[in-house]
Chain A
Amino acid sequence: MKFKKINLTNFRSYYGDENIYEFSSDNEKKVTIFFATNGGGKTSILMGLLYCLFGNDAIGLDRQGNCADGEPAKHKDATDKDNMYVELHFSHDSKSYMASRGVMSNSEAQFYIKAIDEDGNLGKREENPDGFINSILPKELKDWFFYFAENSKNSMSNANTINDLINLSGDSKTFKNALRKIQGFTKIDRLIQDLSEIEKQKRIDIDKASKNIEISKIAHNLEEHGKKLDELVKRKNIVDSDKKDKDDGLKNIIEQLKDQPKVKEMAVEREKAIKLRKADQNTLKTLEEELQSYQADMLPKFTLYNVLSKSSRPEDKKEQETIILPYPQDGQTYEKLMKKRICICGRPIEKGSKAEIEIEKLNTDQVDPANKYNDRVSQILGHIQDIKNQCQNYPKTLNERNAAIEELNKKIEENKKNETKLTSQIKQAGKAESTINKLNKLYEEVISQRDALLNSRGSLINQIDLINKEISQLENVREKVIGEKQITDKSSSLVKKLAKILDYTKRKLANDEKKAHTLITMEINKALKKYAYSNVQATIDPETYKVTLMESGIDVPQRKAKSGGEDELLKYFFIASVIGLANKKQQHSLKYLAPPTSCPLVIDAPFTGMGKDFIKGTIDVMTEQVEQIIFIGLVDDFDNHFEDAIKNYIGKAYIIQKADKSKRSSSKEKPSKQTVFGKEYDFVLYGNNDENGKPVSQSKIIGIS
């Protein structure tokens, strides 16, 4: 990192926005120097840099807006409408940036970093400006690059001075840390630590996984479960088969029961048949009785008719036949009757026969139809006709009645047969009943057995489900374990590689440190040999990094601590060597694992405690090692020795004059003068504003030649 330009607008003692100072970027003339009068704002330069890069904390800014030294961060004459900010232009890794931090007129704090292209145009804001700065110059290392003057310590409790940091008689721990941090070793430390942690964790995981990997046990369990499952399935199959047998048995029983005679129905049927037969028999009896009555009734009728037809009396047989004439009714005469010439019994009346004579006689007699006798005769004759009809119908009626009786008899016979059949069937059914009972009992038994089987089956299915579930779980575990094993194997391989990397990194770090140690020691001693008057040599403890200055085997720092002798020289050499080494590393002249931190060295009031004879040597060494140096000091502190020592290294130089309202001068007034390195420079002491009321810069660029 190299600083290019700083703009202090209304920051502390810098009023207005024209307080712009460029820093020398020249590789030969590396030094930018600020000559300041008392209260001219020399510390504000240092604070401006720290404020811009690291914010409020770096300058101890409190809520009232005062810095650690009690001075307000915003110029006392700036109004609320004025912005207060510090802009720093810097380069890093061949790129240019502008960082700007301040408080705007609306009291809003802002901080941003923008890249600057080759044409000087600003790019977009960096997303994380603090992180960006920290990656270039970690905040914790700022004290190694920005040194306050010894006298600032009273006003700034957190101010760091060279003496604070490099206390040769004190603890070297901070020093060691700083050195290691600047060289980037702490990054490697963290890397190693992280890798070690990963490795450790991985090993723990692997160990744990290894313990978990009990595939054989799981396999054994699976085998056991498999056996159990097989056994259960076998049992279930047996139960299924038994159940099927029982079902078949039940079907068989049901079939058998179906085939069994239905005794009740048959009994009812027989009962019906018996009733029917009895009814038929009753009917038959009635019919037979009727026939009997009919025949009995017909007997006298036949007898009478036969008698009527032909006299049955033996003595009459030859003589004559009985003639019964029809008797004339109202309006009839025998004459009319004779025309029919037929007697009542149907025989013809022959001519000349007795019947004819009788009729003639009757015709002659005047028959009174109303006579009671005639009435009787008429009725009898009518009855004869009736008898005749009945006799003629008898054979037909007899046949009909006999047929009816015969039919009924047949029916009765059939019924009897049916009855017999049913009786026989019922008898058989009676025998079958015990079979039915047995079958029913068997059915119940089989049902209960089947129910038991079903229960057993249910239980088996539950067990099988359970076992299957367990097997599935075990298989999952096995898969997981196999997966874990694969991962573990892979992890083991990775851990091995990691261990190798770690080992390499540690060795490399140790080598780097050793190299750094050697280089720094070498550089310091080289400088000491060149610039110290005594024959002194520095040793740096490789473990503690405690720096010791030895003169012919005698420890000398205490002796010369206050005289500004070699021990003071040593401090600067040390800082210069460390930064120099970092620079070399950053320029890839050395191959290290992590990039070092390289930053300009900013020192307020340098060399104040150092012997004048050592200043040149110190500056020589510093300018050799450090890429950019910024010195800030009182005009009076820089004497001839300093001038001689630094003259050739100054790239930019500024005189900063404190504004003085009371000494407001006009163009007619004699300008105030400042002498730097024996040369006078004129200053017109304006207040904060020029004659036009515009805030003015207090600085003056001077050329040192």
Chain B
Amino acid sequence: MAYFTEPDGQLQRKTYYYSKDYQKIMNLLSQISDEYGKFYADIPNVMVLAAALAMQKGLPLHKEIPGAKRADSYFKGYVSTGMDYYQALIVFLYSKENGQSILEEESDDELQKIFLGLANSGLQYLNQLQFESTNTNQSPSKIIIDELNMSLKRFQKNQQKS
């Protein structure tokens, strides 16, 4: 993928970032903290989840995070993680009016921008669920299971329709 690999074929380390406001939720969901166990193997996975949720829930893109390149948390993405496909897919689905052109090489920066917007938006949503809802005891697993069940129901509904 162009996001991770230079045209000459060399691996390119892409830097992703998320708002420090969502550090807590990131800790809960990723292996950064062992407090609730492992849900996702690494930050890119959480970012994919958050972006997917944001897209499904129709959340607006998160506003740009100032000084993001230096501040906030960073994670490393690798071709091998497979997350680049999801990233591309999420952005492809989101930018339907652009058709499949978003996948073109020239759109890489745009793609990254949209993805980060969606991901941070999703993190915001999860953060709210976890820390700002009335039920403060809600565990991250419950959030995930609830979301999963809802998605499952929708999936099954779609399946029946088709």
A394 touches B85 (CB 8 A): no
**11 A-B residue pairs with CB within 8 Å:** A289-B37, A296-B45, A299-B151, A302-B148, A305-B155, A307-B93, A308-B89, A309-B158, A376-B2, A380-B103, A394-B152
Interface locus among B11-19, B49-57, B127-135: B49-57
Given contact pairs A306-B158, A383-B85, a sample of 10 additional A-B residue pairs in the complex whose CB atoms are under 8 Å apart: A296-B45, A296-B49, A299-B53, A303-B49, A306-B154, A309-B155, A313-B55, A373-B100, A373-B105, A376-B2
Residue of A292, A296, A299, A376 near B88 (CB, 8 A) is A376
Say whether B58 contacts A314, CB under 8 Å: yes
Q: Which residues of A contact B113 (CB under 8 A)?
A: none
Q: Which of B39, B40, B96, B100 sits near A316, CB closer than 8 Å?
A: B96
CA distance A297 to B41 in the complex (A): 9
Number of residues on chain A facing chain B (CB within 8 A): 38
User: CB distance B148 to A380 under 8 Å?
Assistant: no
* Chain A residues in 8 Å Cβ range of B1: 376
Chain B residues within an 8 Å CB radius of A312: 55-58
Whether B56 lies near A307 (C-beta < 8 A) is yes
Q: Contact: A307 with B85, CB < 8 Å?
A: no
Asked whether any CB of chain B lies closer than 8 Å to the CB of A379, the reply is: yes
Determine how close the nearest CB of chain B comes to the CB of A46; give it in whole angstroms: 165
Distance of B63 from chain A, by nearest CB (Å): 18
Closest Cβ–Cβ distance, residue A341 to chain B (whole Å): 14
Q: How far is the CA of A372 from the CA of B7 in the complex (A)?
A: 11
Report the bound CA distance from A303 to B103 in whole Å.
Answer: 20
* Known interface pairs A347-B162, A379-B85; A289-B52 also in contact (CB < 8 Å): no
Nearest CB in chain B to that of A327: its residue: B100
- Chain A residues lying within 8 Å of B86, measured Cβ to Cβ, are 300, 304, 383
Residue A298 at the chain B interface, CB threshold 8 Å: yes
A518 at the interface (CB under 8 A from B): no
**Is residue A610 within 8 Å, beta carbon to beta carbon, of the partner chain?**
no
Q: Using Cβ atoms and an 8 Å threshold, which residues of chain A touch B2?
A: 372, 376
Q: Does B35 contact A (CB under 8 A)?
A: no
B49 partner, pick from A300, A311, A376, A384, beta carbons under 8 A: A300
Of the listed residues B41, B145, B152, the one surrounded by the most CB atoms of chain A closer than 10 A to its CB is: B152
Q: Tell me if A295 counts as interface (CB < 8 A to partner B).
A: yes
Q: Which residues 376-417 in A have Cβ within 8 Å of B in the complex?
A: 376-377, 379-380, 383-384, 391-392, 394-395
**B104:A373 contact, CB within 8 angstroms:** yes
Q: How far, in angstroms, from A310 to B93 measured CA to CA in the complex?
A: 10
Whether B23 is near chain A, meaning CB under 8 Å from some CB there, is no
Cβ–Cβ < 8 Å partners of A309 in chain B: 155, 158, 162
CB-CB contacts of B62-75 with A at 8 A, as 1s and 0s? 00000000000000
Known contacts A295-B145, A322-B93: A373-B103 contact under CB 8 Å: yes
Cα–Cα, bound, A295→B85 (Å): 19
Complex contact A302–B152 (CB within 8 A): yes
Contacts of B105 in A (CB 8 A): 372-373
The answer to whether A296 touches B144 (Cβ under 8 A) is yes
> A430 CB to closest chain B CB, in angstroms?
40
Which of B45, B55, B145 contacts A307, CB < 8 Å? B55
Q: Which residues of B contact A311 (CB under 8 A)?
A: 93, 96
Which residue on B lies nearest to A394, using beta carbons? B152
Question: A293 at interface (Cβ–Cβ under 8 A)?
Answer: yes
> What residues of chain A have their CB less than 8 Å away from a CB belonging to chain B?
289, 292-293, 295-300, 302-314, 316, 322, 346-347, 372-373, 376-377, 379-380, 383-384, 391-392, 394-395
The 8 Å CB contact of B38, one of A292, A300, A372, A391, is A292
Number of interface residues of B (CB under 8 A): 41
> Are A304 and B90 CB-contacts (below 8 A) given A295-B144, A379-B85?
yes
B25 shortest CB reach to chain A, Å: 14
Complex: chain B residue closest to A358, CB-CB: B99
B138 close to chain A: CB less than 8 A: no
Determine how close the nearest CB of chain B comes to the CB of A332; give it in whole angstroms. Answer: 17
Question: Contact at A313–B58, with CB atoms within 8 Å?
Answer: yes
A677 CA / B123 CA spacing, docked (Å): 205
B48 within 8 A of A: yes
A305 to B55, CA, bound (A): 11
Which among B53, B89, B158 has the greatest number of chain A C-beta atoms within 10 A? B89
Whether A303 and B55, one on each chain, are in contact in the complex, defined by CB atoms closer than 8 angstroms, is yes
Nearest Cβ in chain B — how far from A554, in angstroms?
180
Residues of B within 8 A of A298 (CB): 148
Chain B residues near A305: list those with CB within 8 A: 155
B6 — which chain A residues lie within 8 A by C-beta?
none
In the assembled complex, the Cα of A138 lies from the Cα of B88 at a distance in Å of 172
Contact among A300, A302, A377 with B48 in the assembled complex (CB-CB below 8 Å): A300
B103 touches A289 (CB 8 A): no
Do A310 and B40 form a contact, CB below 8 Å, given A300-B52, A304-B90?
no
The answer to whether B155 and A292 have CB atoms under 8 Å apart is no
Interface flags, B102-129, vs A, CB<8A=1, else 0: 0111000000000000000000000000
Question: Which of B39, B96, B162 sits near A322, CB closer than 8 Å?
Answer: B96
In the A-B complex, the 4 residue pairs with the smallest Cβ-Cβ separation, listed nearest first, are A302-B151, A303-B52, A296-B39, A300-B52
Residue of chain A at shortest CB distance from B29:
A296
Q: Are A292 and B162 in contact (CB under 8 A)?
A: no
A517–B107 CA distance with the chains assembled, in angstroms: 194
A380 and B85 within 8 A (CB): yes
Decide yes or no whether B92 CB sits under 8 A from chain A. Answer: yes
Task: Give 1 or 0 for each of B81-98: 1 = CB within 8 Å of chain A CB.
Answer: 000011011101100100
Complex CA gap A392/B52 in Å reads: 18
Q: Is the CB of A306 within 8 A of B96?
A: no
Nearest residue (CB) in A for B158 is A309
Across the interface, name the chain A residue whose C-beta is closest to B148: A299
A377 touches B162 (CB 8 A): no
Chain A neighbourhood of B154, CB < 8 A: 302, 306
CA distance in complex: A299, B86 (Å): 13
Compute how far the CA of A544 lies from the CA of B32 in the bound complex, rounded to whole angstroms: 166
Residues from chain A with a CB closer than 8 A to the CB of B48 are 300
- A304 x B152 contact (CB < 8 A): no
Closest Cβ of chain B to A106, distance in Å, is 148
Report the Cα distance A302→B149, complex, angstroms.
9
A314 CB contacts on chain B under 8 angstroms: 58
Complex: A322 Cα to B162 Cα, angstroms: 14
Contact of A304 among B89, B96, B159 (CB under 8 A): B89
| Residues of A close to B93: CB separation below 8 A | 304, 307-308, 311, 322
* C-alpha gap A384/B92 in the complex (Å): 12
A379 vs B85: C-alpha distance when bound (angstroms): 8
Q: State A384–B89 Cα separation when bound (angstroms).
A: 8
Within the complex, the shortest CB–CB distance from A181 to chain B, in Å, comes to 153
Q: Separation in Å of the B16 CB from the closest CB of chain A? A: 15
Q: Are A292 and B141 in contact (CB under 8 A)?
A: yes
Question: Which residue from chain B places its CB closest to the CB of A383 in the assembled complex?
Answer: B85
On whether the beta carbons of A303 and B151 are closer than 8 Å, the reply is: yes
CA distance A58 to B19 in the complex (A): 177
